[in-house]
Structure 1
Amino acid sequence: MSVSVRIPTILRSYTGDESQVTAEGDTLAQVLDSLESSHPGIKARVVDESGALRRFVNVYVAEEDVRFAQGLDTATPDNTQISIIPAVAGG
């Protein structure tokens, strides 16, 4: 399945400054693997060493937070938009 992935400014150095890229995969995990093959280094900024989503990175599949869905196993239907959004802290 081909999906569109919105890339935050902080990760655009991995995508040649592109704000949106295309990736393949039936699940978020497969999409991240596809991103990694096209844009080496980006996956490590989204998932940690154990393969789990990083604590301060939010990922949405069609506007649904994957933490409240199936995480990396969340389905990514064809033409779905995925957004990677770094969490903002402050006070």
Structure 2
Amino acid sequence: MTGEVTLLVPRLLQPLVGNSAELALDVGDGATVAQLLDAVAAEFPVFGRRVRDETGELRRFVNIYLDGEDVRRLDGLKTRVAAGQELMVIQSVAGG
């Protein structure tokens, strides 16, 4: 049995993932946030570049929540994700 995680994509980034509001990602028996982002970036490279910088870290204006908890407050990109959990990408929009 494979396990899936739902990745919720904000409206601004949806055009970069085939206009999908959510993606179902296979995590098997567990994966890290970084591994899941790598999998999405393999199919949608521009999305990957918008979410992470050249060093692979999350861009400062991008937040990712695992079941409502900011991954930066957990174990960052090394945070383990299990089947049935929900990842949500939030991209801050600067205004002034």
**Partners of 1:7 and 1:20 within 8 A in 2:** yes
- 1:23-38 superposed matches below 5 A: 23-25=25-27, 26-38=31-43
Q: Of 66, 70, 76, which aligns to 1:61?
A: 66
What is the TM-score normalised by the length of structure 1?
0.89
Distance in 1, matches of 2:64 and 2:94, equals 16
For the residue of structure 2 that corresponds to 1:42, the secondary structure is helix
Count of aligned residue pairs for this structure pair: 91
List gaps (5 residues or longer) in structure 2.
none
For the residue of structure 2 that corresponds to 1:83, the secondary structure is strand
Q: Which residue of 2 aligns with 1:72?
A: 77
**Partners of 1:24 and 1:34 within 8 A in 2:** no
List gaps (5 residues or longer) in structure 1.
none
Partner amino acid, structure 2, of 1:20:
E
- Deviation track 1:10-61 (CA, whole Å, cap 9, x = no partner) reads 1111121110111234110111011112323211111100111100001001
For the residue of structure 2 that corresponds to 1:18, the secondary structure is coil
Bigger Rg over Cα? 2
Q: Identical aligned pairs, as a percentage?
A: 37
Partner amino acid, structure 2, of 1:69:
L
CA-atom RMSD in angstroms: 1.4
